[in-house]
Amino acid sequence: SSELTQDPAVSVALGQTVRITCQGDSLRSYYASWYQQKPGQAPVLVIYGKNNRPSGIPDRFSGSSSGNTASLTITGAQAEDEADYYCNSRDSSGNHLIFGGGTKLTVL
Amino acid sequence: QVQLQESGPGLVKPSGTLSLTCAVSGGSISSSNWWSWVRQPPGKGLEWIGEIYHSGSTNYNPSLKSRVTISVDKSKNQFSLKLSSVTAADTAVYYCARGIVVVPAALNWFDPWGQGTLVTVSS
């Protein structure tokens, strides 16, 4: 399969927990990586692999995976987490990379 | 730490060829990484264009493969993108990014990214 599916928009109350999901057949074979993108800025890696955070990413960001679904969880969402989030992995062939359509997160 | 910087014309005429270069600093392009181009049309999501290894091996997005060429210049520590026969649909912010791949662990991620450069296709 060459598609990763994300919900277009999700909202969360300040300080609450939100899960952003990414579905695709290739996720049965490959881990997803997750990127945060704020308006006018380049994407920033927030989670890769099973549940790895790059240096500088707050520990309120975590990742998980089950079957064909990868999830990004923000525990205690902050106003600065309002952004677009994209998942990414290889496709089932392993030769191409694919992105999900992105999820716009609103922090209320 | 590795930093990437895109450069190239911001305006390309329809049917022309888009050409961009990504300069790599703080590290060697000959390291064990793949180097990718990703684009984002205004108001839309991310689209992977293709990747190259320092050996010259490439992988391209099937939807763009017939128009894309990615090359590497190890002497200048940079890699380049050429996209031919462009139309208005190719108007986008173009990013370069380092791709880290751990094959046995089925891991792949992009880090870092360049700041991006807007390319507009218009006459």
Closest CA to A4 of B106, B45, B20: B45
Per-residue pLDDT reduced to its tens digit, A58-102? 999 999 999 999 999 999 999 999 999 999 999 988 889 999 999
Per-residue pLDDT reduced to its tens digit, B10-27? 999 999 999 999 999 999
Q: How far apart are CA B4 and CA B25, in angstroms?
A: 6
A-side interface with B, Cβ within 8 Å?
2, 29-31, 33, 35, 37, 42-45, 48-49, 54, 86, 88-90, 95-102
Are the C-beta atoms of residues A103 and A9 closer than 8 Å to each other? yes
Classified as helix, coil or strand, A28 is helix
Per-residue pLDDT reduced to its tens digit, B42-97? 999 999 999 999 999 999 999 999 999 999 999 999 999 999 999 999 999 999 99
The number of beta carbons lying within 10 Å of the beta carbon of residue B44 is 11
Q: What is the pLDDT of residue B2?
A: 96
pLDDT value at B3 more than 60? yes
Q: What is the pLDDT of residue A50?
A: 86
Q: What is the pLDDT of residue A74?
A: 98
What average pLDDT does range A36-65 have in this prediction?
96
pLDDT value at B32 more than 90? no
Q: How far apart are CA B33 and CA B42, in angstroms?
A: 29
Q: How far apart are CA B30 and CA A71, in angstroms?
A: 33
Q: Which two tokens stand for residue A7?
A: 């919900």
pLDDT value at B102 more than 70? yes
pLDDT value at A1 more than 70? no
Are A45 and B116 in contact (CB < 8 Å)? no
> What are phi and psi for residue A28, nearest 5 degrees?
-75, -20
Q: What is the pLDDT of residue A84?
A: 98
From first CA to last CA, the distance across chain A in angstroms is 35
Q: How far apart are CA B88 and CA B79, in angstroms?
A: 24
pLDDT band at B112 (very low <50, low <70, confident <90, very high): very high
pLDDT band at B104 (very low <50, low <70, confident <90, very high): confident
Residues of chain B contacting A102 with CB distance shorter than 8 Å: 45-46
Q: How far apart are CA B59 and CA A84, in angstroms?
A: 27
Between B103 and A78, residue with greater pLDDT: A78
Q: Share the mean pLDDT of chain A.
A: 95
Q: What is the pLDDT of residue B103?
A: 78
What average pLDDT does range B92-104 have in this prediction?
92
Q: How far is A75 from chain B (nearest CA, A)?
A: 23
What average pLDDT does range B98-102 have in this prediction?
91
Between chain A and chain B, the number of residue pairs with CB atoms below 8 A apart is 70
Q: Mark residue B23 as left, alpha or beta (left: phi above 0; alpha: psi -120 to 50; beta: remaining).
A: beta
